[in-house]
Structure 1
Amino acid sequence: MVRGPTGRELLQILNVRVLGSGDRVVVFSHGFGTDQSSWNRILQYFCNYRVVIYDLVCSGSVNPDHFNFRRYTTLDAYVDDLLAVLDALGIQRCYFVGHSVSAMIGILAAIQRPQLFAKLVLIGCSPRFLNDNNYHGGFERGEIEAVLAAMETNYKSWVQGYAPLVVGADVPEAVQEFSRTLFNMRPDISLFVCRTVFNSDLRGVLHLVRVPCVIVQTASDMSVPPSVAAYLKSHLGGRATIELLPTEGHLPHLSHPQVLGAVLRRALAR
């Protein structure tokens, strides 16, 4: 096993910020292709919380020298980073809001340390993106390989085509923002992480999650079909509810922050 930096080192490497001074702690963890700035339009709804935000090591806002290709071959290393950050901050109990791959990171972290998490909010979460027998993840293997080949051939062209599809909604500023953070990623790191995410399969461990979960799903998401939210609800081991947003796209925190912000506040207040 390749050891990573210590918790204190990670606070600097991952640009960890703690905002506010509320009694309750909420951690926001971004998805693939973005960084912590993707939560900027959401944070106003959590003035009464102590908010922790950070960048995944693969994001373009982190020095790429810190991305160890031997260490980040699975999601487990990202889980280790999250837990190390929370320990370094002395946090003993928190709410966790994770988008896309970070929702999966939160699931794995809650299996390891259930006492640390009061609730998981899983936005655009998928335990498996590939279709498999009776499971509909949304993608065939050939489609995934085509995406990876396009990234490798011409990253700029791929971003220009990919960003509008993933944002989904007709919100140009959200497409512009997502394109910016995608372009900030070093292309070889982006390709490596994308392959790691597409090859991940968490279906076999969902029953181990005992922490209450809120599954947030938009009405139309090209990355995660609605059937995945239903699959999560029926296979997670603890209490799980679904919040269906009347919006489009995989990035509601960029495209519809008011709608998502209201849902998140309600989910954490329960």
Structure 2
Amino acid sequence: MGVVEAHNVKILGSGDQTVVLAHGFGTDQSVWKHLVPHLVEDYKVVVYDNMGAGTTNPEYFDFDRYATIDGFAYDVIGILEEIGISSCIFVGHSMSAMIGAVASVARPDLFYKIIMISASPRYVNTVDYFGGFEHEELEQLFEAIQSNFKAWCSGFAPLAVGGDMESVAVQEFSRTLFNMRPDIAMSVAQTIFLSDLRPLLCHVVVPCHIIQSKKDLAVPVVVSEYLHQNLGGKSIVEIMSTDGHLPQLSSPDVVVPVLLRHVRFDIAA
């Protein structure tokens, strides 16, 4: 099967510039439903599912390939090559912000700029870095995923989104999270939470727009400033008044105008 079919790639709208929307852990391309209608009149929009998302065939998930972010990054390059995109505005949420960064180091020509939402190069605290988590907390998280995936999903979704179980956004995230096969969810969670991409940042020369909620369970606000200081190219930071790790789902009225502004605005201009 081709890369395009395996990742459920859809090409919408038309325009001279291409915007690629890449989702984070536990979601799929449906997380962009509030943003897509605002882009399709002016841009060619590409949406796809990361391998391992509940909408992809679990038989295609290679545990060795996706043990590092590199495997996902090579998927992005493969998708862009297969559909003939020579340059794109890459909008990456959470893990996909870092996937885009890794892909841009290998193929900077494919990326006009990267818009990072809720991005982190490392989640674990060290002596001189605050990522938000201690190793023990992550061990507990992995244990919870392994022991009772459904119960973990029910508890994690409202914490990540920043709302109660009654909210539409929490229910939506719960649905896409629970659609993942538990062993695949565990593998992807370990890849994300145990990765350390800080040494790579200086090699990212593509302009980056760093967008962050003021309150995010997974990514402290200081991480956005760390990215800004350590990326190899031009970057800009915007902290939004939103709560939660999936603001494009939980606060679209705030986030959509911000994202549209960053899609249209160039740092270098």
TM-score, normalising length: structure 2 = 0.96
Question: What one-letter code is carried by the residue in structure 2 that aligns with 1:49?
Answer: Y
1:126 aligned onto 2:126: no
Q: Aligned partners of 1:17, 1:248: CA distance in 2, in Å?
A: 29
* Structure 1, unpaired ranges of 5+: none
The alpha carbon displacement at 1:240 in A equals 0.6
Q: Aligned partners of 1:30, 1:103: CA distance in 2, in Å?
A: 9
Q: Aligned partners of 1:49, 1:21: CA distance in 2, in Å?
A: 5
Alignment of 1:3-152 (within 5 A): 9-47=2-40, 48-152=42-146
Q: Aligned partners of 2:47, 2:201: CA distance in 1, in Å?
A: 25
Q: Aligned partners of 2:253, 2:87: CA distance in 1, in Å?
A: 27
The alpha carbon displacement at 1:169 in A equals 3.9
SS in 2 for 1:148: helix
Matched residue count? 263
1:189 aligned onto 2:184: yes
The alpha carbon displacement at 1:258 in A equals 2.2
State whether residues 33 and 190 of structure 1, in contact with CA within 8 Å, keep that contact through their aligned partners in structure 2.
Answer: yes
Q: Aligned partners of 1:84, 1:116: CA distance in 2, in Å?
A: 11
**How many percent identity over aligned positions?**
49
- The CA RMSD over aligned residues, in Å, is 1.0
Q: 2:219 aligned to 194, 206, 224, which one?
A: 224
State whether residues 45 and 262 of structure 1, in contact with CA within 8 Å, keep that contact through their aligned partners in structure 2.
Answer: no
The alpha carbon displacement at 1:115 in A equals 1.4
Please identify runs of 4+ aligned residues in structure 1 that moved more than 2 A: none
- Tell me the alpha carbon deviations over residues 130-159 of structure 1, each in whole angstroms, 9 at most, x when there is no partner: 001110000000000000001111111101
